[in-house]
Amino acid sequence: MSDFTKEQIEVPGATVPFFTYKDGETQIYEFDTSKCGPPEPMVNAMAGLKFIDDSNKRLVMINHKKPMGLLAKVENNYKISDEELPDGRVKLVFSYKDGASEVANLSDTHCEG
């Protein structure tokens, strides 16, 4: 059974609120940078990706558009799915990629655009 009761958590380095909840056995970490400009989406995503250290965890990012600089930086280290929301924002879901997520450089928050 899913428990979508969201609890706000402290995330070092984050500039927006983060929430966590369970979806079955999966722990979800979620944040919304849709009202933020660069480099905040990148900074917050890198902070949140530090939680994704096994296959039962996901990071959900809501953004005003697809963050191409972020995706280019982490696409080899995480499985990433995206969907356009009815209001035009984008929802990205980052999942653990065995053998690759462990070696992601999450300290590089420089945004290329």
Q: How does pLDDT run across 26-73, given as a tens digit for each residue?
A: 999 999 999 999 999 999 999 999 999 999 999 999 999 999 999 999
Q: What is the DSSP string of 52-64?
A: --STTEEEEEEES
SS3 86: coil
CATH architecture of 6-103: 2-Layer Sandwich (3.30)
Beta-ladder partners of 65: none
The whole-model pTM stands at 0.94
Instruction: Sketch the domain layout of the chain as residue ranges.
Output: 6-103
Average pLDDT on 20-26 reads: 96
Burial 62-90 (b: 16+ CB within 10 A, else e): bbbeebeebeebbeebbbbeeeeeeeebb
Rounded to whole angstroms, how far apart are CA atoms 94 and 83? 12
Backbone angles phi, psi at 59, to 5 degrees: -115, 125
Average pLDDT on 7-31 reads: 97
- Written as six digits, the tokens of 101 are 């997520």
- Integer CA distances (angstroms), 82 to 63, 65, 68, 78, 91, in order: 11, 10, 12, 13, 6
Pairing of strands 57-63, 90-96: antiparallel
SS3 104: coil
